[in-house]
Amino acid sequence: MFYSLLHIPTYIGDRQVAGGLHDKSFDLSKEKKVPFPSLVANAVKVLIIYIVITMDLAQLGIEVPVLYLAFGIILGELMIGLGAGFAFGIKDVSRNMGGYLQVNEVLKPGEDIKVGEYTGTVKEITRYNVIIRDDKGNQKAIPNKYLVENTVTTFSD
């Protein structure tokens, strides 16, 4: 119990460090536009609280391997969730990148094409889209996945 009381100043000090990290992360976010600025600071806070609690419980004679297991399971579920979110988020980007590899082999700048309702001359082929200029002089960016999913007609002279 006495050792547990010694952890209170450590816990308060750790909270001050985590709070400083939180404030610093907001300063960085203003300068560099960092997304989710408090995510790292909150993760550090949770880790510090977890360490303090497990050390206290170990000093009291309570078995802590169960806590290690629970923390590992929670961390694993978090990683699976982040991975699934990343996979759904990158879905369209990967389709456009894959379309680039296919479109780059077929189309060349200067060719006249018709894809769905779009008709024009290919000006540029990028990783994500093909830029065409129609007969009115308007430029349009067609996503590569649209080119792969629809019939592309090329007109030769």
Domain endpoint, select from 64, 89, 114: 89
Q: Count of CB atoms within 10 A of residue 68's CB?
A: 12
Q: Pairing mode, if any, of strands 152-155 and 139-143? A: unpaired
Instruction: Dump pLDDT digits (tens) for 84-101.
Output: 988 888 877 777 776 666
- The answer on 53 and 23 residing in a single domain is yes
Count: domains in the chain: 2
Instruction: Dump pLDDT digits (tens) for 22-68.
Output: 555 445 545 555 556 677 777 788 888 888 888 888 888 888 888 88
- The answer on 80 and 48 residing in a single domain is yes
Give the global pTM. 0.47
C-alpha distances (whole Å) from 150 to each of 48, 85, 134, 142 are 54, 28, 18, 11
- The answer on 81 and 102 residing in a single domain is no
Q: What is the CATH number of the domain that holds 143?
A: 2.30.30.60
